[in-house]
Structure 1
Amino acid sequence: MIVQEEDEGQDKENTLSLEGLPTDVLLCIFKFCELKLLGRMSQVCKRFYGIINEDYVWIERAKNVLVTNQISETIRNRSLTTLSLKEKCRIYYNWKNGKYKENIYLRQRVKYMPKLVLERRILWISRGKSILAYKRGQDHCLSRRPEIVLEGRQEDVCHFVKYENLIISGERYGALVGWSATTGEKTFELKNGHSSDVNSVDYVGCLAVSGSRDETVKVWNISDPSTCEECFSIDIGDRVCSVALSPNADVFCCGSAGLYKISPLHIFDSSSGIAVVNLDYTFRNGAGILDVHWETPQTLLSCGYDTLIRLWDVRIGRCVSLWEDPHDSAIYSLASDNHNTFLSGLSQHGRIQLWDKRKRNSVQTYFSKTRWSSPVYGMVFDPSHLFAALDQSLNVLDFTGRGNLSKNLIAVPHTVIQVI
């Protein structure tokens, strides 16, 4: 008996357990483990927990993540925190697998067509004739009451844009209004900027561009925020749905309704208004461009009624990549991280698709809660949250997996600064 116990003791001493392996060996093993398995392994002991939290385990995984990569300066500027490599992978896992908690703000019976602008500390949303600014807390919750309310004319805000300290809104029946983003004071107002609804505006540097239902695009000089002077006007010959200035503001693109055999996508020089690119574009009648987004000074994304998302290279005037909505729906809005990620907001059921530019098929589908089928009129995101503007609510999808937001929390608008 004594000899047998000694043999068993020697066998145990000669057996090498996983916990007893050197750290370098464990790091190599953990690099090949799936994310879910790593989470379980980190709960085995304090040593495993410490090793798995090392950046070395996550470097290769974090290189290819969508949404949470924080490579783009635009995304970094709107992120509340800089994520660790482990957090990037963990939160992306929730995006990829559709694991989120949804919270509903600004619920109302009246139907609007809201737009969104997201900053690190503020979320701006248009609602009827007003533009509301909600503060974002460290816990990612929105304030119950808006910090600033920009009260426009009697007509609805069709579109608005913020650049540095100035907000420009385009309204129904042609008005253009400028606001100070810090004080809420109106800096200028053009009651007859256009003769019909201003469907889209954009602003970069000292140049602004607006597109209207009256079939014209106008470029404005706003070197002085208190004035807005028209530089020139371009007659498109078709209803204008979207406009966007390139990042360096040397050219701008214009998306129209695609009627009357007129191409729905145009690119003009910002200083002269001359068409600089003839796009190789075959389109169906009525396949209008509802949203455009510049990825770089040379490439842009477009979407619209034809259910397709196109990536254009303006240097060669061609579509270089193409993605089709899996359910054949019109695409109302786009949001991008200017890297490999973009999202599309669809025309029905509050549906949003997550896309990887390197793949043909979408990565994931999200359905926002909506009482009636609603288009996604506006959409913005940061690494952990997705904000979707529907006709009767603002829906926030929380991918942190930590339950920071309360379910169905409703923020009630309250006027803090009212400018008439």
Structure 2
Amino acid sequence: MFIDKANVELQAGDGGNGMISFRREKYVPFGGPNGGNGGRGGSIYFRATTNVSTLSNFRFNKVLKAENGVNGGSKNSFGRKGEDLIVEVPVGTLVYLTDTNKLLADLDEVGKEVLLAKGGRGGRGNAAFRTSTRKAPRIAENGEKGEKHRLTLELKLLADVGFVGMPNVGKSTLLSVISNAKPEIADYPFTTLTPQLGVTITKDRRSFVVADLPGLIEGASQGKGLGIQFLQHIERCRLLALVLDFESDSDPVKDYELLQDELKAYSYHLIERAQIVIATKFETEHSKKKLAKFNKKYPDIKVYPISSLLHEGIDELVYALADQLEKIPPVSFIPLEEEETYKIYKASEMEKEEPIFKVIRLSEHEYRIVGEKVVAQYHRFNLSTDEALLSLLKFLRNIGVDDELERLGLEDGDRVFLEDFEFEYIR
């Protein structure tokens, strides 16, 4: 089964905790601090590869976790770094933040690698806090939490030529004639339910990839039929081959105009993509009359009449496709920022940076300190010693918490919460 969309949760590794430890040896009564730092947590990278062709693996593995960093040890032993997790995805995969639908990465080249969840830093051991005035610090840091993200993966078909047309106009038959593909062929609409790929090689040894895409109907840009799934796959094709039936009772002129309307309605500038028009089932006088009518309406559009059954016009069409592709640059789906990191900020967002903390009132005598930055910093304090507790309170005072509590008019004895930490306010 062809899976082209998947949701996945990423959990980078947490950093290891720093160690509180002191040198203990015979005849060394005042050994200094020797607690080591914790190791950094493992990060999660996505890498584009040709080893996989669908997103089906993510149906069974929806949570991806990297290894945590190891805690620091005594004797200045540093914890081991958590192993990074490299996730292989098909070339052509787009990665979005699920909650905001923001594009994070376009993995459009083999070997392209991007960091999507960064591991947390390891906490410092007490040896790192030794100074000339603090000889025996009883304080260490906890490791940072690794980043967590919910992502949506979307696989856009990568092909040079995409066959675009109404259902049952002969796209699959043509693909089977000009390539090594073996699509299902039958005399009913929507025989092709998932994209089919084939490699075409000209007699002068030029090659390109052709995609047979599900049939398009009126209203596809609004999701009718297989519309949205179909149009999503067209976005990657460099050249759109509009396949029109010149034998049945359908009107090629109306079908051509309908295709143009749906491409224009779907956006992504599909209507501006290079096109070539193919007249299939061109085997009778009836077909010739339809071609004359089409040429009268659109005299500037060159039409390539072919018969897949009789193998007529095939060579001319294949050479025309190859010639046109040589003039068309690769398609870039959405331009990304040059820096391939998870957080991509606009200048306006940087100017409106949120404050490090806020104080919200829970009840008449209870308040809570909130804010992503202050909470992250709080979790780095290892509150197992009095010295660490004093360091936390000093940190809160330095960032202005005391001033804010006073401004809000707190009274002595009011309770203040920060995550699971609680203290009484005293002026």
Greater relative contact order: 1 or 2 (C-alpha under 8 angstroms, separation 6 or more)?
1
Indicate the structure with greater helix content.
2
TM-score range, shorter chain: under 0.3
The structure having more radius of gyration, on CA atoms, is: 2
* TM-score, scaled to structure 1: 0.22
